[in-house]
């Protein structure tokens, strides 16, 4: 695995075509990791009609309602602002027009240990009530989203979002 400094050096030494291929590879690897992160959620809940959020050069949360359950030990206001900077609408409540469910990393860790927390139980209850509404909902998890935002701000510098990422990392 490359360090951040090695990645920056590597990116500076590449032609634009090589850089495009490198970025595509990095995003493919991130999407694979995102799918693996969510596999335990989909297996534990039986929610199969929904899909993981696909990260790429396009912004997958722009103009989307994002349900963000409690994120333990992090500055939620900063997290919401990061979503807002990317054009999404963060909500602490699940709304009828929710497009994206942002699973906390803590929820994923608990599922890996076989424990369903309140977030999972609530989502299952909503799914069992009306699974048709879930056909257009995408799932992601906190760390995959943050990794994508970091990658995005490295390739398309956004000073205010970079500052928010630093604040979020300290929270």
- Token look-up 């970079």 returns 162
- Give the up-direction half-sphere exposure of residue 19: CA atoms within 13 A in the CB hemisphere: 12
Per-residue pLDDT of the chain (171 residues; tens, 9 = 90+): 334 444 444 344 444 544 444 455 455 555 555 567 777 888 888 876 566 677 766 788 999 999 998 776 678 889 999 999 999 999 999 888 899 999 999 999 999 999 999 999 999 998 888 877 777 888 998 988 998 899 888 888 789 999 999 998 887
Q: At what angle do helices 159-170 and 142-155 cross, to 10 degrees?
A: 140
Q: Is the dihedral of CA 68, 73, 74, 77 positive or negative?
A: positive
Residue pLDDT, tens place only, 34-62:
567 777 888 888 876 566 677 766 788 99
* C-alpha–C-alpha distance, residues 146 and 152, integer Å: 10
Residue 66, token pair as written in the block: 């994002």
Q: Are 19 and 11 contacting, i.e. CB atoms less than 8 angstroms apart? A: yes
Helix (H) or strand (E) holding 112: helix 105-112
The domain locations on the chain are 4-170
Q: How far, rounded to the nearest angstrom, does the alpha carbon of residue 18 sit from its chain's CA centroid?
A: 26
- Give the up-direction half-sphere exposure of residue 153: CA atoms within 13 A in the CB hemisphere: 17
């Amino acid at each position: 695995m490359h360090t951040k400094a090695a990645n920056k050096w590597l990116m500076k030494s590449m032609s634009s075509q090589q850089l495009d291929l490198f970025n595509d590879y990095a995003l493919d690897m991130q999407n694979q990791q995102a799918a693996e992160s969510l596999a335990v959620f989909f297996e534990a809940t039986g929610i199969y009609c929904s899909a993981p959020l696909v990260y790429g050069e396009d912004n997958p949360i722009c103009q989307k309602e994002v349900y963000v359950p409690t994120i333990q030990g992090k500055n939620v206001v900063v997290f919401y602002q990061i979503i807002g900077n990317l054009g999404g609408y963060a909500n602490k409540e699940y709304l009828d027009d929710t497009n994206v469910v942002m699973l906390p990393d803590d929820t994923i860790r608990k599922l890996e240990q076989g424990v369903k927390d309140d977030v999972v139980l609530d989502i299952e209850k909503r799914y069992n009530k009306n699974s048709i509404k879930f056909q257009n909902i995408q799932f992601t998890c906190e760390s995959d989203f943050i990794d994508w935002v970091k990658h995005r701000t490295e390739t398309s510098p956004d000073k205010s979002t970079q500052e928010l990422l630093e604040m979020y990392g300290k929270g």
